[in-house]
Amino acid sequence: LMMTMSSPFWSQIVAELTPYTPGEQPKSLSGETPLIKLNTNENPYPPSPAALKAIGAERGERLRLYPDPHSEQLKASISDYYHLSPDQVFIGNGSDEVLAHLFAALLKKPQPILFPDITYSFYPVYSQLYGIEYKTVALTERFEIDVEAYAQPNGGIIFPNPNAPTGLLLPLEAIERLLQQQLKYNPSSVVVMDEAYIDFGGVSAAALVDKYPNLLVVQTFSKSRSLAGLRVGFALGDRALIDALERVKNSFNSYPIDRLASAGAVAALEDEAYFQTCCKKIMTSRTDLAHALQVRGFEVLPSAANFLFVKPKHIPAQELTKRLRQVNIIVRHFKMARIEEFIRISIGTEAEMGALIKSLDQIA
């Protein structure tokens, strides 16, 4: 894709932007040798049959009508699920849109915001888009988040929990310590917990929403609910924080959630048994893969997410990524300081994990 470098028609911000680059989305996974896609942390299991059924039921004449601009039904489902009230829920077109709106609504403050030096690489992009100053806080040598390092003047704190791409989980008591510390030192700045991967072994901070007015929790249907193709994310927080998001959203796009996405998400949330089964299978495969890699000399970070962040012993990470791509296995490598010797592997099905190990044994 050739990009124009600049144009007199552009507003000032455009030329300065360095957009986010998502992982490769190949057109098709089938072919002579089917692709094994372990690069964007999708769920290897299909969406709940109940979700597919609900989408089928909504697919019809009604699509001529706008969806509910307030997504009330989905808000009711999510608030029930987390024992909150509907006005503590915000819905967006994937958690990326939720994040975009919250950067504008809650993180553009007089002080710079804080996030880890190694984290979701969309955060600096949002900051640039909205002209938000940020400061990174180094993870410890073991890639852990040091809560006390965030006790400094800031306009807000954001990080994924578990963190990406490391997979490391910050326990709930540490988050509560962070929330109290932030209320004390930066009483008008929020803490955003980006919980895209929380369902694979973590405990959500959703339970703290009623207690901390400075907490916003962001989640998605893309990972644990197997609905990346539908684009639904949400935020949970005190009503004042949700109002801020609604104001920005309603000044941007009245209807970001289409009828089929809303119907599918509601049904997915109701199918608790299917959800638990898929999450458990992924956690089991994660344990198995971690073991198989450790046996082969890989350094494996302890992961509470649906991926492993690992450092190969006998081959540079970038080289291994290339070699795997040649045998139709896609993993993700980040050319970034401190982590360029690591690769991120999404947890696939048992069969996919078996094929991965077989290929690794042939490569190195």
The one among 79, 111, 121, 128 contacting a second copy by CB under 8 A: 128
**CB-based contacts of 348: which residues, under 8 Å, 6+ apart?**
36, 37, 38, 44, 285, 356
| Structure-token pair, residue 247 | 């104001």
CB 191 within 8 A of CB 177: no
The one among 34, 62, 280, 361 contacting a second copy by CB under 8 A: 62
Q: What order of strands is seen across the sheet that includes strand 113-116? A: 89-92, 233-237, 215-220, 191-194, 157-160, 113-116, 134-137
What residues are paired with 329 via a beta bridge?
36
The yes or no reply on residue 9 touching a second copy (CB under 8 A) is: yes
DSSP-assigned letter for residue 203: -
The yes or no reply on residue 351 touching a second copy (CB under 8 A) is: no
The yes or no reply on residue 183 touching a second copy (CB under 8 A) is: no
The one among 134, 164, 202, 259 contacting a second copy by CB under 8 A: 259
| Least distance (Å) between residue 94 CB and a second copy | 6
Q: In this chain, which stretch among 8-16, 134-142, 200-208, 310-318 interacts with a second copy, using CB under 8 A?
A: 8-16
| Least distance (Å) between residue 259 CB and a second copy | 4
Which residue, among 196, 232, 225, 206, has the nearest Cα to 92 in the 3D structure?
Answer: 232
The yes or no reply on residue 165 touching a second copy (CB under 8 A) is: no
The yes or no reply on residue 239 touching a second copy (CB under 8 A) is: yes
**Residues 120-136, buried b or exposed e (16+ Cβ, 10 A)?**
bebbbbbbbbeebebee
| Least distance (Å) between residue 336 CB and a second copy | 18
| Least distance (Å) between residue 23 CB and a second copy | 8
The yes or no reply on residue 246 touching a second copy (CB under 8 A) is: yes
The yes or no reply on residue 55 touching a second copy (CB under 8 A) is: yes
Interface of this chain with a second copy, residues 192 to 221, rule: CB under 8 A:
213-214
* Cα separation, 187 vs 159, whole angstroms: 18
- Of 126 and 334, nearer to a second copy (C-beta) is 126
